[in-house]
Amino acid sequence: NAGVTQTPKFRILKIGQSMTLQCTQDMNHNYMYWYRQDPGMGLKLIYYSVGAGITDKGEVPNGYNVSRSTTEDFPLRLELAAPSQTSVYFCASSYPGGSNQPQHFGDGTRLSIL
Amino acid sequence: DQQVKQNSPSLSVQEGRISILNCDYTNSMFDYFLWYKKYPAEGPTFLISISSIKDKNEDGRFTVFLNKSAKHLSLHIVPSQPGDSAVYFCAASAGSSQGAQKLVFGQGTRLTINP
């Protein structure tokens, strides 16, 4: 039972480069989320999706894009990497049902922009 | 504007004793609160939650208390075990958007259980 799988685990990018962080889940969850965690801080919501073809912005969406073509996959795209995007990125998923459905997290992608 | 605050970056407790982790919030619209546990190089793992209509929820060694008038919640772990050593995050949500749970996290508290 893989749960939420994120790839890659680590990546170093140069300023201005682009990349896609991959996230896939095998729990048939409708809802998926992307968070970032900066050192010494809590997680902040970047984007979320309530199903295939439906996405919406979270608290810190600037500089990122998402798409949701299947239930299983929710990739996060950085178009023009900036040093401020150095962070650990977590993907999560949950069943519908609002607040009483806990989110299941992947192990994160550690991204450094130099 | 930090809506969820964990003011203790770290806490050290002796094995077998009670661990108490605290969390304060400012947004009175929050209606659901959760605690997540995180080990190094892993993602957060859900631990326990509480609805704003309750003041206590218990699950084995873990109990969460909610004081709405003080906008304060706490997580009690008793007895504390070495495997409880981790970073604990408090999180809150204000309703749900299309059923999605838009969580706001605190900064985390690193709990160390000493043998």
CA distance, residue B47 to nearest chain A CA (Å):
9
User: Tens of pLDDT along B31-60?
Assistant: 999 999 999 999 999 999 999 999 999 999
- Name every chain B residue with its beta carbon within 8 A of the beta carbon of A47: none
Tell whether B100 lies on the interface with A, counting CB pairs under 8 A. yes
What is the pLDDT, as a whole number, of residue A96? 77
- Name every chain B residue with its beta carbon within 8 A of the beta carbon of A35: 105
User: Tens of pLDDT along B84-93?
Assistant: 999 999 999 9
CA distance, residue A94 to nearest chain B CA (Å):
8
User: Tens of pLDDT along B55-105?
Assistant: 999 999 999 999 999 999 999 999 999 999 999 999 999 876 677 889 999
What is the pLDDT, as a whole number, of residue A2? 79
> Is B98–A50 a contact, with Cβ atoms under 8 angstroms apart?
yes
Tell whether B88 lies on the interface with A, counting CB pairs under 8 A. no
pLDDT greater than 70 at residue A1: no
CA distance, residue A93 to nearest chain B CA (Å):
10
Q: What are phi and psi of B55, to 5 degrees?
A: -120, -5
Which of B4, B29, B48, B101 best probes binding to A when mutated, by most A CB atoms within 10 angstroms? B101
- In this prediction, residue A99 has a pLDDT band, given cuts at 50, 70 and 90, of low
Closest among A49, A100, A36, A43 to B95, alpha carbons compared: A100
- In this prediction, residue A113 has a pLDDT band, given cuts at 50, 70 and 90, of very high
Give the C-alpha distances (Å, rounded to integers) separating B37 from A8, A11, A55, B56, B102: 23, 25, 27, 19, 18
CA distance, residue B93 to nearest chain A CA (Å):
7
User: Tens of pLDDT along A58-79?
Assistant: 999 999 999 999 999 999 999 8
Cis peptide before B82 (omega within 30 of 0): no
Task: Flag the least confident range among A10-14, A107-111, B28-32.
Answer: B28-32
User: Tens of pLDDT along A17-57?
Assistant: 999 999 999 999 999 999 999 988 999 999 999 999 999 99
| Sign of the C-alpha dihedral computed for residues A85, A90, A94 and A99 taken in this order | negative
Local structure of residue B100 (DSSP, 8 states) = B
> Is A43–B100 a contact, with Cβ atoms under 8 angstroms apart?
no
Tell whether B26 lies on the interface with A, counting CB pairs under 8 A. no
> Is A100–B32 a contact, with Cβ atoms under 8 angstroms apart?
yes
What is the pLDDT, as a whole number, of residue B1? 72
- Nearest Cβ partner for A45 among B42, B96, B103: B103
What percentage of chain B carries pLDDT values higher than 90?
90
Length of chain B equals: 115
